[in-house]
Amino acid sequence: MSKTIIISNRLPLQISLENDDLKVSPSVGGLATGLKSFHRDGDSIWIGWTGLTEEEIPEHLKEDVKEKAKEEACISVNLNQEELDGFYYGFSNRTIWPLFHYFMEFTEADKEHWETYKRVNQKYADIILEHYEDGDHIWVHDYQLLLVPNMIREQQPDAIIGFFNHIPFPSYEVFRTLPWREEVLKGMLGADLIGFHTYDYERHFLSSVSRILRHQVDFNEVALPDRIVKVDSFPMGIDYNKFESAALNHFENTAEEQSELQRRLDHHLEATPDAKLILSIDRLDYTKGIANRLRAFEYFLDNSPRYIEKIRLVMLAVPSRSNVPQYQRLKREIDELVGRINGKFSTVSWTPIWYFYRSMPFENLIDLYTSCDIALLTPIRDGMNLVAKEYVATRTNHTGVLILSEMAGAAQEMNEALIINPNNFDQIAGAIEQAINMPEEEQMQRMKMLQKRLKRYSVEKWAQDFMKTLRNTKANRDSFKSI
Ligand code: ADP
Ligand code: F6P
């Protein structure tokens, strides 16, 4: 029986070492959280990295790591420190990530990183080929593995290969600055189907293909000498039922079952019943606009002092890529901004920002989503932003307001949110004011529309659509050959 082979840099499970023992926790990030339910419900294996380097795993635990992965139908790819530095911290996160998010000033072009990136992509491709059987569907994910589709194609010309890019694809004018632009495009074109979150990313990719490689592009198909590659947009959804039912269960918790965090949130609400909580959740990443958000919040308090003691920003940032200098600098900048704003506005009974720098268990995310009246998500660029969708899915009483940057892929499907430009502080401050004062009836109207759409296009539907299109693309390829 044929299976689906999912490949991403990171597995949905993260393994760490605690007192010479292995600890398994879920990975954070849109790709892992989104795709997990497709993997759980289907007949698939998932190939990726566990989060530990080869050097970090003690000899006597090496087999256990494999076993832990296997328990969740995963196959672990071993990466050593040198590979991780060049491939992950290097080319993936110091070249592709900033370039594809339009942070050209952060983009490095290091030949050694590129060489390691190629080598590690080949390592992933080889592991896929070890597990591949005729008829399997191969689904490669994201910018860390851009070369993998063609590496598989070279060994298995008939394989059915899909590729999905979870981050933006930049405009031709930006992409063309990459020294290895031809190799990257050729790598991706090894797939039969290439998916993006939005139509704009799809268009940018096709434009680069036609201008750099000079391939003929007809509507959304690229004509290669021996086959057609289809390019399409599939906006990724969330596991809607999971978030909705977690929120419903949450409201049924008895006082003893509540988390400490929920008790603190309730205490805040009891002490200040008219005060509003504003939530932000992201990986700590410069693309997420966290510093801008803090400055805009400060601007709002400066200009609307009547809201002092009446609102609080609950900001959760999860540590991410902390070996990359820009992430270290951003961490310091955020620490300083939070300190300055809290120092400037705090009163004896109130601090404007609660800042958590850590990953939180799922239950606590639900505490936050369900307790906060407003979600403020202001990325400078973001492929999709699943947090926006998760917030909406948990608002089971239909109240709550989402303020969302127009630079997030999610904004294209979430018109009922208050859409802002993350660089326009007046607009953000205006949206915060509008959200605080929005009548409940209007909140419910907007929320219900958002929920209806998200429920319909869940992550299951997204994955099914992608796989169905992939199967059709393969069928078309076969008929193309027989002409
Ligand atoms: P990205 O993929 O860039 O990280 P997304 O918003 O698409 O951004 O996805 C982030 C995912 O990570 C969401 O599913 C969210 O629930 C999860 N997440 C974000 N912050 C935390 C945190 N502090 N603790 C646990 N999970 C988190
Ligand atoms: O969604 C974008 C993405 O980079 C995923 O590829 C990745 O899993 C996630 O964000 C988290 O990043 P990282 O794997 O570098 O911690």
Ligand at minimal distance from the CA of 167 is 2
Q: Which ligand is closest to the CA of 359, given by its number?
A: 1
Distance 27 CA to ligand 1 centre (A): 9
Place of tokens 């076993």: 67
pLDDT at 334: 98
- Ligand number nearest to the C-alpha of 317: 1
Ligand 1 — pocket residues by CB below 6 A? Answer: 28-30, 33, 281, 283, 316, 318, 359-360, 365, 384-387, 390
Can you tell me the distance from the alpha carbon of 412 to that of 414, in angstroms, rounded to the nearest whole number?
A: 6
User: In the structure encoding, which two tokens stand for residue 454, read together?
Assistant: 């998200």
The answer to whether 193 touches 470, Cβ cutoff 8 Å, is yes
Helices 240-252, 362-371: inter-axial angle, 10-degree rounding: 80
DSSP 416-441: TSEEE-TT-HHHHHHHHHHHHT--HH
User: Could you tell me the distance, in angstroms and rounded to a whole number, from the CA of residue 316 to the centre of ligand 1?
Assistant: 10
For β-strands 216-218 and 221-223, DSSP reports them as antiparallel
Query: DSSP characters for 290-329?
Result: HHHHHHHHHHHHHH-GGGTTTEEEEEEEE---TTSHHHHH
Residue whose CB lies within 8 A of the most ligand 2 atoms, among 16, 31, 163, 238, for a mutation test = 31
Residue 474 pLDDT: 73
Which atom, in ligand 1's list, is nearest to the CA of 238? 14
Burial 375-401 (b: 16+ CB within 10 A, else e): bbbbbbbbbbbbbbbbbbbbbbebebb
Rounded Cα distance between 362 and 367, Å, is 9
Q: How many CB atoms lie within 10 A of CB 57?
A: 20
Which of 166, 321, 387, 414 for a ligand 1 pocket mutation test, highest count of atoms within 8 Å of Cβ?
387
Helix (H), strand (E), coil (C) string for 255-275: HHHCCHHHHHHHHHHHHCCCC
Is residue 139 within a helix (H) or strand (E), and if so which, with residue range? strand 137-141
* Per-residue model confidence as pLDDT tens for the chain (483 residues): 789 999 999 999 999 999 889 999 998 777 887 788 889 877 899 999 999 999 999 999 999 999 999 999 999 999 999 999 999 999 999 999 999 999 999 999 999 999 999 999 999 999 999 999 999 999 999 999 999 999 999 999 999 999 999 999 999 999 999 999 999 999 999 999 999 999 999 999 999 999 999 999 999 999 999 999 999 999 999 999 999 999 999 998 888 889 999 998 988 888 888 899 999 999 999 999 999 999 999 999 999 999 999 999 999 999 999 999 999 999 999 999 999 999 999 999 899 999 999 999 999 999 999 999 999 999 999 999 999 999 999 999 999 999 999 999 999 999 999 999 999 999 999 999 999 999 999 999 999 999 999 999 999 899 999 999 999 987 777 666 665
Amino acid at site 329:
R
For ligand 2, whether the C-beta of 94 sits within 6 Å is no
Residue with the smallest CA separation from ligand 2 atom 14 is: 10
- pTM summary value: 0.96
Environment class of 59 (CB within 10 Å of its CB; exposed 0-12, middle 13-18, buried 19+): exposed
Q: Rounded to the nearest 5°, which phi and psi values hold at 475?
A: -60, -40
Residues contacting residue 410 through CB under 8 Å, at least 6 positions apart: 235, 382, 384, 385, 386, 388, 389, 404
Kindly report the number of other CB atoms within 10 A of residue 360's CB atom. Answer: 17
Total number of residues shown for the chain: 483
**DSSP secondary-structure letter at 77?**
P
Please tell me the distance from the alpha carbon of residue 143 to that of residue 366, in angstroms, as a whole number.
29
State how far the Cα of 281 lies from the Cα of 72, in Å rounded to an integer: 27
CB 457 within 8 A of CB 225: no
- Cα-to-centroid distance, 29 and ligand 1 (Å): 4
Other Cβ atoms within 10 Å of 174 Cβ, number = 19
